[in-house]
Amino acid sequence: GAGVSQSPSNKVTEKGKDVELRCDPISGHTALYWYRQSLGQGLEFLIYFQGNSAPDKSGLPSDRFSAERTGGSVSTLTIQRTQQEDSAVYLCASSLFVGFGVQVSPLHFGNGTRLTVT
């Protein structure tokens, strides 16, 4: 597709269950970001992938959160043993970098996955 695709668009889960959220970035984009947005709040950085470099995991709030990016394309964000405070919209974005930290395209966001933990 032409844009960043996220699935599912909505997810309701019970407290304690694991969930997986998927992101398909724009084809050819080397950088992929995950953010979290709680109701009425700003965007909280979670994790960033750039090419083959080690991901920047500095924003992950606990060890229940993990993410991987396979083949430099699709990414999956996994939340284990979900808690009610995990309820939020999870946003994925992608961008194109060349060289050393040179961003040549702006960030493009998907429509997000709205996660509700009951």
Partner 1 sequence: GIQVEQSPPDLILQEGANSTLRCNFSDSVNNLQWFHQNPWGQLINLFYIPSGTKQNGRLSATTVATERYSLLYISSSQTTDSGVYFCAVGGGGSQGNLIFGKGTKLSVKP
- Taking phi over 0 as left and psi of -120 to 50 as alpha, with beta for the rest, 115 belongs to beta
Q: Does 97 bind partner 1 (CB under 8 A)?
A: yes
Site for partner 1 in 19-78 (CB under 8 A): 31, 33, 35, 41-45, 48, 50, 53, 56, 58-59
H/E run at residue 50: strand 43-50
At its nearest, how many Å lie between partner 1 and the CB of residue 96?
11
What's the helix, strand, coil split of the chain in %, to 5? 5, 50, 45
The binding site for partner 1 (CB under 8 A) comprises: 31, 33, 35, 41-45, 48, 50, 53, 56, 58-59, 89, 91, 93, 95, 97, 100-101, 103, 105-109, 111-112
